Structure 1
Amino acid sequence: MKFKYITILSGAALLSVASCKKELSRINQNPNGSEVAQPDYLLTAATKATADTYWGVANNMDASLLFAQYWSKIQYTDPDRYIYASSAFEELWTTGYTKGIGNFNEIIKLADAQGNSNYKGVALVLRSWVFSLLTEAYGNIPYKQSVNIDQYLTPAYDSQKDVYFALLDDLKAAQAALNPSGKAIGGDVIYGKAAGNIALWKKFANSLRLRIALRIADREPAKAKQVLDDIKTDGSGYISANAETAQFVYVNSPNQNPVSNLFDTRDDYRISKTIVDKLFALNDPRLPIYASKTQDATPQNYVGLPNGLLVGDASGYGFTKTSKPGTYFRGANAPAVILSYAESLFDRAEAAARGFTTEDAASLYQQAVTAALLQYGVSATDIATYLAQPAVQYDASNYKKSIGEQKWIALFGQGLEGWTEWRRLDYPVLQPGPAATLNGKLPVRFIYPGSEQTLNKTSYNAAVASQGADALTTKLWFDVN
Structure 2
Amino acid sequence: MKNKFIKLLGLFSATVTLYTSCTKDFDELNTDPTAYNPTNFEPNYLLTTAQLAYTGSFDFSYETWRGNLIYSSTMMQQLSTVIGYWAGDKYILNADYTAAYWFVAYPEQVKPVADLVELTRNKAQYKNLHQIGRIMRAMILQRITDLYGDVPYSAAGLGYYSGTYFPVYDKQQDIYTDIIKEYEEAAIALDPAADKPNGDAFYRGKTDQIEKWKKLAYSLMLRAGMRLSKVDPAKAQATVAKAIGKTMQSNDDNAYLVHDEAGGRPTVNRNFQVLQGQPEADYVKWSKKLIDFMKDNNDPRLGVIAQVNNGDRTPANQKGMPNGYDLSGVAGRDISSAPGYTTMAAYSKPSSLLNKLNAPTFVFTYGESELLLADAAARLTGIPGIGAAATYYNNGVKAAITYMAPYDAAAAISATAADTYLAAHPYVAGSGLEMINTQYFALTATMFDFYEGWSNWRRTNIPNLTPVVYPGNVTNGTVPRRFPYPLSEANTNPTNYKVAHDAVPGGDLLIGRVWWDKQ
Structure 2 length as normaliser, TM-score? 0.83
Asked if 1:477 corresponds to 2:515, the answer is yes
**CA–CA distance in 1 between the matches of 2:491 and 2:510?**
20
Asked if 1:369 corresponds to 2:397, the answer is yes
Shift of 1:277: 1.1
**CA–CA distance in 2 between the matches of 1:217 and 1:264?**
38
What's the counterpart of residue 430 of structure 1? 465
2:219–2:243 CA contact under 8 A, matched in 1: no
2:302–2:315 CA contact under 8 A, matched in 1: no
Shift of 1:314: 5.0
Aligned mate of 2:322, from 306, 309, 331 = 306
Q: How many residues align?
A: 458
Shift of 1:125: 0.7
Partner deviation per Cα, 1:4-32 (whole Å, 9 max, x = no partner) = xxxxxxxxxxxxx9879949x945x5554
Asked if 1:167 corresponds to 2:182, the answer is no
Shift of 1:433: 2.1
Shift of 1:158: 1.5
Aligned mate of 1:451, from 488, 496, 513 = 488
1:306–1:433 CA contact under 8 A, matched in 2: no
**CA–CA distance in 2 between the matches of 1:379 and 1:314?**
40
Correspondence 1:179-194 to 2 at 5 A:
179-194=191-206
Partner deviation per Cα, 1:93-118 (whole Å, 9 max, x = no partner) = 13222221211111112212532221
Partner deviation per Cα, 1:186-221 (whole Å, 9 max, x = no partner) = 200001121120111010000000000101122222
Q: Once structures 1 and 2 are overlaid, which stretch shifts more, 169-178 or 220-229?
A: 220-229
Identity of aligned residues (%): 28
What's the counterpart of residue 6 of structure 1? none
Residue aligned with 2:110, SS = helix
What's the counterpart of residue 306 of structure 2? 291
Aligned mate of 2:36, from 18, 34, 37 = 34
Letter in 2 for 1:333: N
What's the counterpart of residue 414 of structure 2? 379
Closer/same/farther in 2, CA of residues 18 and 345 from structure 1, 3 Å limit: closer
2:70–2:87 CA contact under 8 A, matched in 1: no
Aligned-residue RMSD, C-alpha: 2.5
Closer/same/farther in 2, CA of residues 120 and 270 from structure 1, 3 Å limit: same
Aligned mate of 2:132, from 122, 138, 152 = 122
Asked if 1:73 corresponds to 2:101, the answer is no
Shift of 1:424: 0.9
What's the counterpart of residue 271 of structure 1? 286
Closer/same/farther in 2, CA of residues 260 and 218 from structure 1, 3 Å limit: closer
Aligned mate of 2:369, from 344, 365, 376 = 344
2:91–2:477 CA contact under 8 A, matched in 1: no
Residue aligned with 1:303, SS = coil
What's the counterpart of residue 101 of structure 1? 110
Letter in 1 for 2:452: E
Aligned mate of 1:403, from 436, 439, 442 = 436
**CA–CA distance in 1 between the matches of 2:481 and 2:305?**
24
1:349–1:362 CA contact under 8 A, matched in 2: yes
**CA–CA distance in 1 between the matches of 2:419 and 2:186?**
39
Letter in 2 for 1:476: V
Partner deviation per Cα, 1:284-326 (whole Å, 9 max, x = no partner) = 1111222112339899521211111133355545432222122
Letter in 2 for 1:264: Q
**CA–CA distance in 2 between the matches of 1:320 and 1:386?**
29
Residue aligned with 1:432, SS = coil
2:255–2:364 CA contact under 8 A, matched in 1: yes
Shift of 1:181: 0.9
**CA–CA distance in 1 between the matches of 2:243 and 2:80?**
39
Residue aligned with 2:256, SS = strand
Residue aligned with 1:52, SS = coil
**CA–CA distance in 1 between the matches of 2:72 and 2:135?**
23
Q: Once structures 1 and 2 are overlaid, which stretch shifts more, 76-85 or 333-342?
A: 76-85
**CA–CA distance in 2 between the matches of 1:439 and 1:19?**
59
**CA–CA distance in 2 between the matches of 1:206 and 1:349?**
16
Closer/same/farther in 2, CA of residues 20 and 257 from structure 1, 3 Å limit: same
Asked if 1:149 corresponds to 2:159, the answer is yes
Structure 1 length as normaliser, TM-score? 0.89
Closer/same/farther in 2, CA of residues 222 and 293 from structure 1, 3 Å limit: same
Q: Higher Cα Rg: structure 1 or 2?
A: 1
Letter in 1 for 2:464: V
Asked if 1:388 corresponds to 2:390, the answer is no
What's the counterpart of residue 319 of structure 1? 344
**Gap runs ≥5 in structure 1:** 1-16
1:310–1:435 CA contact under 8 A, matched in 2: no
**CA–CA distance in 1 between the matches of 2:232 and 2:286?**
36
**CA–CA distance in 2 between the matches of 1:384 and 1:264?**
34
What's the counterpart of residue 12 of structure 1? none
Shift of 1:455: 1.1
**CA–CA distance in 2 between the matches of 1:465 and 1:314?**
38
What's the counterpart of residue 207 of structure 2? 195
What's the counterpart of residue 441 of structure 1? 478
**CA–CA distance in 2 between the matches of 1:310 and 1:147?**
41
1:296–1:320 CA contact under 8 A, matched in 2: no
Letter in 1 for 2:35: G
**CA–CA distance in 1 between the matches of 2:64 and 2:243?**
32
**CA–CA distance in 2 between the matches of 1:349 and 1:64?**
24
Letter in 1 for 2:82: I
Aligned mate of 1:45, from 38, 45, 49 = 49
2:485–2:501 CA contact under 8 A, matched in 1: no
Correspondence 1:244-259 to 2 at 5 A:
244-253=253-262, 254=264, 255-259=267-271
Residue aligned with 2:261, SS = coil
Letter in 1 for 2:453: G
